[in-house]
Amino acid sequence: MFFILSKVLLFLFSPIVWVIFFLLWALLTKKPKRRRNLLLTSTLFLIIFSNSFLLDEVMRAWEMPQSKIEKKGKVYDYAVVLGGIISYYDKRGDQIGFNRSVDRLMQAVKLYRKGIVKKIIFTGGDASVLKDAGNEADIIQKYINETKIIQPEDFILENSARNTHENAEHVAMLFKTDGFTGSVVIITSAVHMKRALGCFRKAGINADYFIADRYSGKRKYVPDHLIVPQSQTLDRWDMILHEMSGYLIYKVMGYI
At 5 the pLDDT is 62
- Higher-confidence residue: 178 or 256? 256
Per-residue pLDDT tens over the stretch 39-84: 999 999 999 999 999 999 999 999 998 888 888 889 999 999 999 9
pLDDT digit string (tens) for 191-245? 999 999 999 999 999 999 999 999 887 888 888 788 888 888 888 898 898 899 8
pLDDT at residue 133, as a whole number: 55
pLDDT of 7 > 70? The answer is no
Residue 2 has a pLDDT of: 54
d(CA 118, CA 140): 18
pLDDT in tens, 157-183: 998 898 999 999 999 999 988 778 889
Structure confidence at residue 121 (pLDDT):
96
122 phi, psi to nearest 5 deg: -105, 125
Using alpha carbons only, give the angle 133, 79, 250 rounded to the nearest 5 degrees.
70
Residue 128 has pLDDT above 70, yes or no: no
CATH dotted code for 69-212: 3.40.50.620
| Contact in structure between 134 and 187 (CB atoms under 8 Å) | no
How many residues are recorded in the chain? 256
Per-residue model confidence (pLDDT) at position 131: 53
Percent of the chain residues topping a pLDDT of 90: 59
- Whether the per-residue pLDDT at 252 is higher than 70: the answer is yes
> Measured between alpha carbons, how far apart are the two ends of the chain, in Å?
16
The H helix count followed by the E strand count for the chain is 10, 7
What gap in Å lies between CA 184 and CA 78, rounded to an integer?
5
Q: What is the pLDDT of residue 3?
A: 57
Rounded distance between C-alpha atoms, residue 200 and residue 184, angstroms: 10
Tell me how far apart the alpha carbons of residues 215 and 70 are, in angstroms, rounded to a whole number: 21
Residues of the chain with CATH 3.40.50.620: 69-212
pTM (2 decimals)? 0.87
pLDDT digits (tens, 9 = 90+) for 179-206: 788 899 999 999 999 999 999 999 999 9
